[in-house]
Amino acid sequence: MVRASLNRFEIIIAGGGPAGSLLAYYAAQRGYEVLLVDRARFPRTKPCGGGITVKAAGLIPFAWQDIVEDVTLVSTLVNQRVCRLQWPQPVCYMITRDKFDHLMLDNARRAGAIIKEGCGVMEVRRDSAGVTVRLENGTLYEGEILVGADGAHSRVAPLLNKGKRQGFAAVAEVAAPADRLEAVRNSLIVDFKVIPYGYGWVFPKRDHLNVGVCTMNPTVKPLGSYLQSLLRKQNLAPGWVRRKYGFPLPHHAGVNRVFGEGRIILLGDAAGLNDPFTGEGIYTALYSATLTAEVLQDRYRRWNDITAAYQKRIMELVVPEWKKAYLVARLFYATPLGASFLEKRPYLAQELWDVLYSGRYCDIKKVLGRNWWRLFYRGS
């Protein structure tokens, strides 16, 4: 590929999901010349539960509450028994990804980023002088750095890492009758009995239920039949299902990988930054974009130093967290210390779920320290 002299930007971002859009917003605000390209035209569908935890919500720097379809005050955990956890203020916000991602992209555009929709990145070349990107329509762009925020099937990620570790999720949009929607307002259901090494969920939206299953173990198949069982268990009629879709949950940040090197940075799903216990990915998509924006603050740094600084931050702030999350996943999904243990100790479950919604995995040690005696006794 011959480097073109036209179409030069400082930062080229592949992918306009939450990770790419948030970085484009911050970088454009800081005066960088930013190009964001996405294969899709927005608003577009992204297979997702559309649950934004309070820790993720805290990373969104502009108004977005208008598109919230429901807020979660109650989480119902289902296993042998049903365990109801309750909070006085929202712990999770329900959105649909078509509206949320469109709003994120619009904010990036308003901040000054150039957005090209409907044409994906096809090919990437990098050398010591920068990167050259060829889009699917043949257009060439040059940049100082390329940010891979192009999701689970990233074209950029293989430049830095080989192989993947990923779970899978399948989701159905269920147009349930109004009384069924009302029955789950301000609450969500998490069912650990429905699929091995993962869970099923029911998330209420304004005019439908988002019902899905996920597993962190890729050998658990076929997801469609687990989804069917959950729909049956919830008494949701097949005729109410508007559409179904599946997608990977890349989670390889527990092992040391490359996240930023030379002229390339990887964010969110492209970096494999999904939570290995819950599969939550919007939080780390936003967090990885925020960390990149922080290292971009120093305008006089060399580009190679920027990507190296980002690598260091992810290794210090995210990888240790996800190593703990892998341990929690193993204990929870593969030993008796899982849902059956917690449902007999609802107070402990409440504190642990607090951590999942708003804290960090390193806080779990403090929770266990405070509640060590509850590990041996049942009840609240």
Ligand X SMILES: Cc1cc2nc3c(=O)[nH]c(=O)nc-3n(C[C@H](O)[C@H](O)[C@H](O)COP(=O)(O)OP(=O)(O)OC[C@H]3O[C@@H](n4cnc5c(N)ncnc54)[C@H](O)[C@@H]3O)c2cc1C
Q: By C-beta, is 155 or 208 nearer to ligand X?
A: 155
Token couple for 340: 């059956």
Question: How far apart, in whole angstroms, are the C-alpha atoms of residue 350 and residue 374?
Answer: 13
**What's the closest the beta carbon of residue 282 comes to ligand X, in angstroms?**
3
Q: By C-beta, is 38 or 144 nearer to ligand X?
A: 38
Question: How far apart, in whole angstroms, are the C-alpha atoms of residue 197 and residue 215?
Answer: 5
The closest alpha carbon to 188, from 71, 66, 267, belongs to 71
Tell me which amino acid residue 293 is: A
Q: By C-beta, is 51 or 262 nearer to ligand X?
A: 51
Listed in sequence order, the residues at least 6 apart from 158 whose beta carbon sits closer than 8 Å to its beta carbon are none
Helix (H) or strand (E) holding 223: helix 223-233
Helices within 64-215 (DSSP H only): 97-111, 178-183
**What's the closest the beta carbon of residue 122 comes to ligand X, in angstroms?**
7
Q: By C-beta, is 285 or 364 nearer to ligand X?
A: 285
Q: By C-beta, is 70 or 150 nearer to ligand X?
A: 150
Looking at beta carbons, which residue is closest to ligand X? Answer: 281
**What's the closest the beta carbon of residue 4 comes to ligand X, in angstroms?**
18
Contact yes or no for 119/80 (Cβ under 8 A): no
**What's the closest the beta carbon of residue 300 comes to ligand X, in angstroms?**
29
Q: By C-beta, is 329 or 348 nearer to ligand X?
A: 329
Question: How far apart, in whole angstroms, are the C-alpha atoms of residue 279 and residue 298?
Answer: 33
**What's the closest the beta carbon of residue 144 comes to ligand X, in angstroms?**
18
**What's the closest the beta carbon of residue 69 comes to ligand X, in angstroms?**
12
Contact yes or no for 35/13 (Cβ under 8 A): yes
Q: Which residues pair with 188 in a beta bridge?
A: 75
Residue with structure tokens 């969920």? Answer: 201
Torsion of CA 300, 304, 306, 308, to 10 degrees: -140
**What's the closest the beta carbon of residue 248 comes to ligand X, in angstroms?**
7
Q: Which residues bind ligand X (CB under 6 A)?
A: 14-20, 37-40, 46-51, 120-121, 149-151, 153, 155, 169, 171, 212, 247, 249, 267-270, 274, 279-283, 285
| Distance set, CA 216 to CA 213, 278, 279, 280, 330 (Å) | 10, 8, 7, 11, 10
**What's the closest the beta carbon of residue 283 comes to ligand X, in angstroms?**
6
Q: By C-beta, is 127 or 136 nearer to ligand X?
A: 136
Q: By C-beta, is 97 or 374 nearer to ligand X?
A: 97
Residue 276, classed as helix, strand or coil, is coil
Strands 166-174 and 241-250: antiparallel
Q: By C-beta, is 72 or 79 nearer to ligand X?
A: 72
- Report DSSP letters for 297-363, one per residue: T-TTS-HHHHHHHHHHHHHHHTHHHHHHHHHHHHHHHHSSSSHHHHHT-HHHHHHHHHHHHHS-TTH
Q: By C-beta, is 49 or 346 nearer to ligand X?
A: 49
**What's the closest the beta carbon of residue 370 comes to ligand X, in angstroms?**
27
**What's the closest the beta carbon of residue 6 comes to ligand X, in angstroms?**
20
